[in-house]
Chains A and B, each alone.
Chain A
């Protein structure tokens, strides 16, 4: 089985082919860097995404701060994470880079301060 992707690790967008035989990755073709190769293998075996959203904040210049997960989250867990984020409420001051919450060991980091 051959999976074809356009790599999204960087804007170069390499066309990657991953050949899978008996559930194991046999060959990865077309990527120009080791990060791309690693990503392509993961995309076949255990796809993950960095998740971003906004969370209401009290007392900031804007009514929300933007947040991201400090690490990519398994794709199938994302809806559950979004439900967690929907209930989160923060208070200013919030600094860029500050960990504002933790969900199942994954840090939620503010990307816009308040």
Chain B
């Protein structure tokens, strides 16, 4: 098979050096585990180094930082603790031989390696949806980027992708890039949002007001035209069922189209070893230690579900590391029973999916549609929580106590009118 590949051995291999992976590796090391962190970029931090705007760390560090600052704090702690890590290390495959025998195969400038590990924490983040996934047709031209690609160009390499910009999708990255384009002197001609409400956090939606950027709600970009370069894009209005309204088409002249159409957890390598995926989150089905359906394979951050806040991403990393410790010590994550978490009314996605009742748990969830004056309810345990407003763009995080969970056979989480 691979007879000459150097063999390394660790308690846990963490795949991905973003906030989830770094927090996981730090916690694993603090818990006395022998840990190796791998990242495919030349630097640690994942997407944080290019997220130069403030708004990071309010929960985790109790102060407001930019993305690069948040990353450098985690990286500093990682180095202080002497966590072993490799950058430019691209994972090709995870093999699951038995509960406590995993192999991670990766390449790096030194060659190919295989690492034995008792457990794996998968924190490889997410990928962006691209133009062809949201039904945009037309000429094959340059000037079409995802919001993250534009961010890499501008905020790592100092390159402006274009001058007249149309942004598809009003999610956080799209809005943040609208501000960056406007600040750097480009003309943002429109942000086009399919849904009847904006997709980003309130503080980012405010950017549109700050820079007088038109927001087209219930509209979509359907076509791109140009010779060699984007010259114009066709926009059409949609009805409440998201169907295009005939005759509502208009063209916007622009040289650049930015796609900010959401993120999808990167789970290809997990699917290959049989990890069960939740179609709602796009990430693995997990228990309250963030262990997937394959014993000893843990997941955290945007590979688990798409988060809005890095603080929760880091929290998930720590949780996965604590799970790994328990898994290695006890040869598995044991529970007398697993309480299944079910989605009720106006809940689009929720994780973790199975709770032991042995410990307090944070549930992460998103609603399907925006609502005001609601109650988040779990009828099985008679729990209720009033919320002034819920939006799909803003993930909810609720704490359940171990004794509450233990009482139930299953838990249905619903968000209903108060």
Contact = CB atoms under 8 A, between A and B. Distances in A.
Q: Does A pair with B?
A: yes
Interface of A: 5-8, 10-11, 13-15, 49-54, 56, 61-64, 66, 68, 75, 78, 82, 96-97, 111-113
Q: Is the interface of B mostly helix, strand, loop or mixed?
A: mixed
Nearest to B59: A11
B249 interface: no
Interface in B189-216: 201-203, 205-206, 210
Nearest to A9: B203
A54 B151 CA distance: 11
B88 interface: no
B201 A13 contact: yes
Contact of B52 (A11, A54, A61): A54
Contacts of A97: 69
B110 interface: no
A85 to B, nearest CB: 9
A53 B206 contact: no
B394 interface: yes
Nearest to A30: B388
Given A54-B52, A63-B157, A96 B68 contact: yes
Interface in B391-418: 394
Contacts of A82: 183-185
Contacts of B72: 96, 112-113
B154 A54 contact: yes
9 contacts: A5-B206, A10-B58, A11-B203, A52-B53, A53-B183, A61-B42, A66-B66, A96-B68, A96-B69
Interface string B176-188: 0000000111000
Give the interface centre of A13, A49, A63 by most chain B CB atoms within 10 Å: A13
A12 B68 CA distance: 23
Nearest to B202: A6
B69 A111 contact: yes
B375 interface: no
Interface string B204-247: 01100010000000000000000000000000000000000000
B158 A54 contact: yes
Contacts of A66: 49, 52, 66, 68, 155
Nearest to A113: B72
Interface string B142-184: 0000000000001111100000000000000000000000011
A9 B43 CA distance: 30
B49 A112 contact: yes
A64 B155 contact: yes
A11 B43 contact: no
B52 A111 contact: yes
Contacts of B49: 62, 66, 112
A5 B183 CA distance: 22
